[in-house]
Structure 1
Amino acid sequence: MAKHDLGIDLGTATFVVYQRGVGIIIEEPSVVAIDAKKKKIIAIGTQAKEMIGKTPEQIKIIRPVQDGVITNPEVIEEVLRYFLKNAKKGLSFSKPKLIIGIPALTTDVERRAVKEAAERVGASQVFLVSEPLAAAIGSEIDITKPNGHMVIDIGGGTTDIAVISLGGTVESESIKVAGEAMDDEIVKYIKKSYRFSIGTSTAERIKKEIAKAYKDEETIEIEVKGQDIKTGLPSSIKINSDDIFEAIKPVLNEIIIKAKNVLEKTPPELAADVMNNGIILVGGVSRIRGLDKLLKEKTGVNTIVTEDPHLTCAKGTGILLEDIELLSSVHVE
Structure 2
Amino acid sequence: MFGRDIGIDLGTANVLIYVKGSGIVLNEPSVVALDTTSNRVLAVGEEAFRMVGRTPGNIVATRPMKDGVIADFEMTEAMLSHFLGKINVKGMFAKPRILICCPTNITSVEQKAIREAAEKSGGKNVYLEEEPKVAAIGADMDIFQPSGHMVVDIGGGTTDVAVLSMGDVVTASSIKVAGDRFDTDILTYVKKEYKLLIGERTAEEIKKQIATVFPGARQEEMDIRGRDMVSGLPRTMTITTEKMEKALTEAISYIVHAAKQVLERTPPELSADIIERGVILTGGGALLHGIDQLLVDELKVPVVVAEEPMHCVAKGTGIILENLDKMSSKKIRI
TM-score, with normalisation over the residues of structure 2?
A: 0.93
Q: How does 1:154-303 map to 2 (within 5 A)?
A: 154-303=154-303
Q: Match of 1:287, as an amino acid?
A: L
- Cα deviation for residue 142 of structure 1 reads 1.5
How far, CA to CA, are the matches of 1:42 and 1:156 in structure 2? 24
How far, CA to CA, are the matches of 1:184 and 1:116 in structure 2? 31
User: Against the structure 1 CA distance between its residues 265 and 231, is the aligned structure 2 distance closer, same or farther, given a 3 Å change threshold?
Assistant: same
Contact 1:9/1:15 (<8 A) preserved:
yes
Contact 1:73/1:110 (<8 A) preserved:
no
Contact 1:36/1:58 (<8 A) preserved:
yes
- Cα deviation for residue 104 of structure 1 reads 2.8
How far, CA to CA, are the matches of 2:148 and 2:326 in structure 1? 17
Secondary structure of the corresponding residue to residue 114 of structure 1: helix
How far, CA to CA, are the matches of 2:56 and 2:327 in structure 1? 46
Deviates more, 1:224-233 or 1:288-297: 224-233
Secondary structure of the corresponding residue to residue 143 of structure 1: coil
How far, CA to CA, are the matches of 2:90 and 2:281 in structure 1? 37
Map of 1:69 onto structure 2: 69
Map of 2:127 onto structure 1: 127
Q: How does 1:106-117 map to 2 (within 5 A)?
A: 106-117=106-117
How far, CA to CA, are the matches of 2:206 and 2:146 in structure 1? 42
- Cα deviation for residue 90 of structure 1 reads 11
Map of 1:313 onto structure 2: 313
Q: Match of 2:117, as an amino acid?
A: A
Aligned-residue RMSD, C-alpha? 2.1
Contact 1:68/1:104 (<8 A) preserved:
no
Aligned length: 332
Q: Match of 1:208, as an amino acid?
A: K
How far, CA to CA, are the matches of 1:93 and 1:243 in structure 2? 57
User: Percent of counterpart pairs with the same letter?
Assistant: 44
Point out where structure 1 has 5 or more consecutive residues left out of the alignment: none
Map of 1:32 onto structure 2: 32
- Cα deviation for residue 265 of structure 1 reads 1.0
Secondary structure of the corresponding residue to residue 12 of structure 1: coil
User: Against the structure 1 CA distance between its residues 132 and 65, is the aligned structure 2 distance closer, same or farther, given a 3 Å change threshold?
Assistant: same
Contact 2:133/2:164 (<8 A) preserved:
yes
Contact 2:64/2:73 (<8 A) preserved:
yes
User: Against the structure 1 CA distance between its residues 103 and 168, is the aligned structure 2 distance closer, same or farther, given a 3 Å change threshold?
Assistant: same
- Cα deviation for residue 92 of structure 1 reads 5.6
Q: Match of 2:111, as an amino acid?
A: R
Contact 2:8/2:17 (<8 A) preserved:
yes
Secondary structure of the corresponding residue to residue 230 of structure 2: coil
Map of 1:86 onto structure 2: 86
Deviations 1:87-107 (A, max 9, x none): 218986631111111233432
User: Against the structure 1 CA distance between its residues 220 and 112, is the aligned structure 2 distance closer, same or farther, given a 3 Å change threshold?
Assistant: same
Secondary structure of the corresponding residue to residue 160 of structure 1: strand
Deviates more, 1:104-113 or 1:153-162: 104-113
Point out where structure 2 has 5 or more consecutive residues left out of the alignment: none
- Cα deviation for residue 31 of structure 1 reads 1.1
User: Against the structure 1 CA distance between its residues 234 and 153, is the aligned structure 2 distance closer, same or farther, given a 3 Å change threshold?
Assistant: same
Contact 1:69/1:105 (<8 A) preserved:
no
Deviates more, 1:119-128 or 1:229-238: 119-128
Secondary structure of the corresponding residue to residue 37 of structure 2: coil
Is 1:13–2:13 an aligned residue pair?
yes
Secondary structure of the corresponding residue to residue 127 of structure 2: strand
Is 1:23–2:23 an aligned residue pair?
yes
Contact 1:211/1:244 (<8 A) preserved:
yes
- Cα deviation for residue 224 of structure 1 reads 0.6
How far, CA to CA, are the matches of 1:151 and 1:328 in structure 2? 24
Contact 1:11/1:103 (<8 A) preserved:
no
TM-score, with normalisation over the residues of structure 1?
A: 0.93
How far, CA to CA, are the matches of 1:120 and 1:155 in structure 2? 25
Q: Match of 2:264, as an amino acid?
A: E
How far, CA to CA, are the matches of 1:141 and 1:156 in structure 2? 22
Contact 1:8/1:101 (<8 A) preserved:
yes
